[in-house]
């Protein structure tokens, strides 16, 4: 029985891993684009992006999954038949907005004098950002991004509400057979994944601390 449950959970874990990897690959750069939109000098773009981010961050991811899956069919008579794709779209948009706020906070906390000093040296705004600001931003965002990534690991289980056969759905199937332990076994997978993420980001923080010549806190 243990072997059968383990095999079933690993099949489900593949869906969680897919959601996690695709979300990270797409949401991190998309979040930076959203940040630039939020900080744009063009007021309609700036306020439009900030309103969009506010709406996404102010509503549950669970609701967004339902909207992405059902809205095209109900509003435009174009039903969304690929449930994993619907989950990926919802996750990428949601996490891009959260990452965008982390980026924006880090950039806005950089002293303006550094921008001005770079321009005095004859650097363009892009060069100032690339050569002076970017590394400082990376150091500042590492911890909050790490927290969001840990949350993402756990949030992948929400895909089950739109019938994506992820690990938790596979585990709950055994409850109909009177077995509760697969649910706890499923928790071990999540604990292992979050432990790996925590260790990776902890090591990254220490390397960045050494690179900037600062003592660990």
Query: What CATH number does the domain containing 96 carry?
Result: 1.10.3720.10
Is residue 217 domain-resident?
no
* Structural domain contains residue 216: no
Q: pLDDT 10s digit of each residue in the chain, 217 long?
A: 889 999 999 999 999 999 999 999 999 999 999 999 999 999 999 999 999 999 999 999 999 999 999 999 999 998 888 999 999 999 999 999 999 999 999 988 888 777 777 777 777 777 777 777 777 888 889 999 999 999 999 999 999 999 999 999 999 999 988 999 999 999 999 999 999 999 999 998 888 877 765 544 3
Whole domain around residue 157: which residue ranges? 2-211
- Asked if the structure places residue 66 within a domain, the reply is yes
pTM of the model: 0.91
DSSP string, 147-187: HHHHHHHHHGGGGGGGT---HHHHHHGGGGGT--HHHHHHH
In a domain, 134, yes or no: yes
Q: Are 53 and 97 in contact (CB under 8 A)?
A: yes
Please tell me the total count of domains within the chain: 1
How far apart CA 182 and CA 164 sit, in angstroms, is 18
């Amino acid at each position: 029985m243990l072997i059968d449950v383990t095999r079933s959970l690993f099949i489900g874990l593949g869906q969680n891993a897919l959601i996690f990897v695709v979300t990270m690959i797409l949401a991190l750069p998309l979040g930076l684009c959203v940040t630039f939109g939020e900080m744009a000098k063009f007021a309609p773009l700036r306020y439009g992006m900030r309103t969009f981010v506010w709406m996404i961050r102010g509503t549950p991811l669970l609701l967004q999954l339902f909207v992405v899956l059902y809205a095209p069919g109900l509003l435009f008579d174009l039903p969304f038949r690929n449930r994993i794709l619907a989950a990926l779209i919802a996750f990428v948009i949601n996490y891009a907005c959260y990452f965008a706020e982390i980026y924006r906070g880090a950039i806005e906390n950089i002293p303006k004098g550094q921008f001005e000093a770079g321009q005095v040296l004859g650097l363009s705004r892009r060069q100032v950002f690339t050569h002076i600001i970017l590394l400082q931003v990376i150091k500042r965002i590492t911890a909050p991004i790490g927290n969001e990534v840990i949350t993402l690991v756990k949030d992948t289980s929400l895909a089950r509400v739109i019938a994506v056969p992820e690990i938790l759905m596979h585990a709950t199937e055994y409850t109909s057979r009177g077995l509760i332990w697969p649910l706890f076994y499923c928790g071990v997978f999540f604990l292992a994944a979050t432990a790996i993420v925590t260790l990776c980001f902890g090591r990254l923080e220490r390397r960045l601390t050494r690179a900037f010549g600062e003592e660990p806190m």
